[in-house]
Amino acid sequence: MAEISDVFFVDGVRTPFGRAGEKGMYWNTRADDLAVKATIGLMERNAAVPADRIDDVAIAATSQTGDQGLTLGRSVAILAGLPQTVPGLAVERMCAGAMTSVTTMGASIGVGMYDFALAGGVEHMGHHPIGGNADPNPRFVAEKMVDPGALNMGVTAERIFDRFPHLTKERSDRFGMLSQHKVQAAYDAGKIQPDLVSVATKGADGAWGLATEDEGRRPQTTMEDLAALKTPFRPHGRVTAGTSSPLTDGATMSLLAGGGAVKEFGLAPKMRMVSFAFAGVQPEIMGIGPIPSTEKALKKAGLTIADIGLFELNEAFAIQVISLLDHFGIADDDPRVNQWGGAIALGHPLAASGVRLMIQLAAQFAERPDVRYGLTAMCVGLGQGGSVIWENPHYDGKKKK
């Protein structure tokens, strides 16, 4: 008989993230091959888990076409050498694709249907620009359901400034600058590298290389640099390239397990799933989506925002993160938030990013036995938010000295 089970995040890995476009390191690499590399790396690192015990593989992509099409979970599982008895599926929730892979597989584990699952995402924004293959229904605009600007994420970010005038461009610029500095500090301290899977790449000249770290970082960024940048989404606007996540290619993969499977194989999970929630908001101002999804997830968990000791918030735009922090009364530079920087520096390969947040939170939990709960949250195109609350298995109840 199936029994209700705890859901554990056993492990997660990702490829280094590359700049999208012809000059990026993955221009000549297929999207599905990025996901294959992450899957192989994850399985090699968790050799105690028999591959034939994986119950399902969920892989997200926003543009499910070309080298990101063909039921990614199944095709990547076969390409990665998993037994053909292992099934797979594809997931699509724009930016929250990988997060939805995790919550969907986690729910299946939670009701006792699965013991193990792989969940992740891939996005090759160089090959597949956001919305490039989409044909939005004309009724959206004709019947005034959605403002035409809602499909331009930068325009939606500008609207957060319009709605909350006290959230200034200067605050946004500072947040963007600090993200770059924090990512570099994390790299210098060796925090990011352990969870990266190297990828062989082929340059435009045919020369082979090895992708070992995230390509888009700009650690020298200053406030002066950011103040001088153009505002591409409107004249005299407040959103710039320096306060937005760059267009990025990359893949992420996680291993999830139920309580029985963890016991059976003597695994040491990195996190336990406490609750998750998704919420919808006006598409025109999609950046505030994680506010209601976080409130829902907290309510389901019986927690308050004060219980959250670490935050991994996807930096689609600096203003988007600041709007959530402001809502919950958290300072822009609170040390609990994005300790190792975020997507402004690392990049945001849409459907892959949710698991990157989880990988970083899991690594921080290991260092922080004084923290019991952490949050991964993100905004989602077309007006949604997604939030997952996690518990730290290393928690010892002692306050940090």
Give me the active site residues, please.
95, 348, 379
Structural tokens at position 291? 């506010």
CA 358-31-61 angle, 5° bins: 55
Distance, CA of 120 to CA of 113 (rounded, Å): 19
Distance, CA of 300 to CA of 389 (rounded, Å): 10
Beta bridge partners of 257: 8, 116
Inter-CA distances, 370 with 77, 137, 270, 309, Å: 38, 50, 15, 9
Distance, CA of 226 to CA of 230 (rounded, Å): 9
Sequence letter at residue 325: L
- In 3D space, the residue among 60, 39, 38, 49 whose CA is nearest the CA of residue 8 turns out to be 49
What one-character DSSP code corresponds to residue 317? Answer: B
Going by their DSSP bridges, the two strands 18-19 and 248-258 should be labelled as antiparallel
Q: Are 256 and 116 in contact (CB under 8 A)?
A: yes
